[in-house]
Amino acid sequence: MKSSAFLYPWDVNGDPEAASRIAGLGIRQVTLASAYHSTRALTPRHPRHRIVTAEHAAVLYPVDESRWEGRRIRPYAAGSWAEGDAYGAAAAELADAGLEVHTWVVLAHNSRMGAEHPSTSVVNAYGDRYPWAPCIAQPGTRDYLVDLAAEAAVRPGARGTELESLGWYGLAHLHAHDKIGGVGFGDAGQYLMSLCFCAVCLDGYAEQGLDGRELAAAVRGALEPVWRGAPSDGGWAGVEKLLGAGAAGATRVWRDGVARTLQEAAVSAVRAAAPGGFQVLLHADPVSYHCGANAGVDPGHILSVADGVVVPCTGGAGLLTPFAEVAREGSVLAANFTVVSGMGGRPGALAADAERAASLGATELRLYHAGLASDGDLRAVGAAVAGLG
């Protein structure tokens, strides 16, 4: 089973041993970040640093100025954590070590854009903006995301790409000093707190026969018991119970349509810019109303658009099943496992977890994240990969 490890450019740049160390795990591919959100990351083996602070979402290569000149919304350059063509330099070293390099592109997740252009952000039913979450219904945001996908995905030498956050982002977000865990929203409450009420979405709800302001009031009313501690029923039935089946269904028609057409446009743009044989995968959740880095999708639709999906499996591989049920011949179903013990991963159980994922339809593995893992975790990964052949 083909395996790929996630990496940041700063894991490789300035460390002459990094590429050979990764190749020594026995993997064939690296998924290397070319556009990424803000983060604070460990680099446990780097000769020059141990902590990298990426202060804002940025591209990790020099942009094509002819594409972005004069545009209000455009990619941000990285600071000292990834200056110049950090992606290109790391990709060249990894390729020289015999590894196939694919790009890792984070799209609708950008706190700096939300801070500098507040009108681009998701607005909840209470009027609060989520600066980390661009509203993907807004035409300017969609144009930006499609062009960013094409540029950041198709870097020199890359054989494919993985597109993360290509869909709705909502309330759930690992924000700095995050303190929103005091109320248990559950699946249904998360959905209601993630509905957007910007001007474009208000018009979208109107197209579905809903008055957006009345809908916002209904959302606030539905959430009142949740704020007081009542449980929020899980699943779509819980959303319908809180909001009513008609209104809930209308919001989903609007939001699912917005996400689907954005995914289609972004994948088409990548394909138009890429050489033949370039692989396009999405980080995906098989429940279309879910928000986040693993965008909610309709499995049958997305496997008709992209070459496959990367599916979160650290908590169990069950999310593979809806994709496997509709997979086409040649579809890639990559099971994504966290292999960092300190982040909840189980590198020592990777072989067993991979076999379970394969039994549910997985065709490849993704290992998150070779740059963050300890030496012990990497040894366990190498042993597991060797055992899987």
Question: Mean pLDDT, the chain, as a whole number?
Answer: 96
Q: Which residue has the tokens 């960013």?
A: 148
Percentage of residues in the chain with pLDDT exceeding 70?
Answer: 98
The secondary structure of the chain in percent helix, strand, coil, rounded to multiples of 5, reads 45, 20, 40
Given a contact cutoff of 8 angstroms between Cβ atoms, the answer to whether 125 and 48 are in contact is no
| Predicted local confidence at residue 183, as pLDDT | 74
What confidence score (pLDDT) does residue 180 get?
65
Residues in the chain: 389
- Please tell me the least confidently modeled range out of 50-64, 113-127, 205-219, 232-246: 232-246
- What are the pLDDT digits (tens) for 217-229? 999 999 999 888 8
Predicted local distance difference test score (pLDDT) of residue 185: 85
Instruction: Provide mean pLDDT across the span 292-297.
Output: 97
In 3D space, the residue among 105, 129, 114, 101 whose CA is nearest the CA of residue 306 turns out to be 105
Give the model confidence (pLDDT) of 88-97 as tens digits: 999 999 999 9
Looking at residue 38, its pLDDT comes to 95
Confidence label for 106 from pLDDT (cuts 50, 70 and 90): very high
Q: pLDDT tens digits, residue range 357-385?
A: 999 999 999 999 999 999 999 999 999 99
Note the pLDDT of residue 296: 97
Q: How many CB atoms lie within 10 A of CB 53?
A: 12
What's the confidence (pLDDT) of residue 172? 86
Residue 101: phi and psi, rounded to 5, are -110, 130
pLDDT at 182 over 90: no
Alpha-carbon distance values, 384 to 5, 237, 369 (Å): 13, 40, 15
CB 94 within 8 A of CB 21: no
Cross-strand pairs, 2 = 364
Q: Which distant-in-sequence residues (6+ apart) come within 8 Å of 251 by Cβ? A: 195, 205, 208, 210, 215, 243
pLDDT for the residue 349: 97
- Residue 287 pLDDT grade (very low, low, confident, very high; cuts 50, 70, 90): very high
Q: 338-351, pLDDT tens digit by residue? A: 999 999 999 999 99
Structural domains in the chain, CATH included, are 2-124+134-178+258-388 (3.20.20.80)
pLDDT, tens digit (0-9, with 9 covering 90-100), for 119-151: 999 999 999 999 999 999 999 999 999 999 999
Instruction: Collapse the DSSP code of 96 into the 3-class scheme (helix H, G, I; strand E, B; otherwise coil) and give the result.
Output: helix
* 12 band by pLDDT with thresholds 50, 70 and 90: very high
Q: What is the mean pLDDT of residues 262-284?
A: 98
Which pLDDT does position 177 carry in this prediction? 64
The beta-strand segments (E) located in 8-136 are 29-36, 39-42, 51-54, 58-59, 100-106, 121-123, 129-134
pLDDT of residue 230: 82
> Per-residue pLDDT tens for 78-88?
999 999 999 99
Q: Determine contact, residues 294/283, Cβ cutoff 8 Å.
A: yes
Per-residue pLDDT, averaged over 27-54, amounts to 97
